[in-house]
Amino acid sequence: MIYAVKGNKSYQVGENTALQEEYLNRGYDLTDETGTILKHSPVKTVPYSQYAEILAELEALRKEKKK
């Protein structure tokens, strides 16, 4: 069974691909019954502050690797 999950909401969507696409476009991820993510929503965004933090960490790791 396939579920659409976003935050604390979960809806059973099954194998209906049209319904799956609708939920993906609304920001839901698709998971199986064990909670493994099958498909991430394409409309999700990352806050810039979090992006900048990860970018700084990546640069630090690249500098460390060069040593």
How far is CA 20 from each of CA 7, 15, 26, 27, rounded to the nearest angstrom? 17, 8, 10, 11
Residue 62: enclosing H or E segment and its boundaries?
Answer: helix 48-66
**For each of the chain's 67 residues, which pLDDT tens digit applies?**
999 999 999 999 999 999 999 999 999 999 999 999 999 999 988 889 999 999 999 999 999 988 7
Domain assignments of the chain as residue spans, ordered by start? 3-66
Global pTM value: 0.71
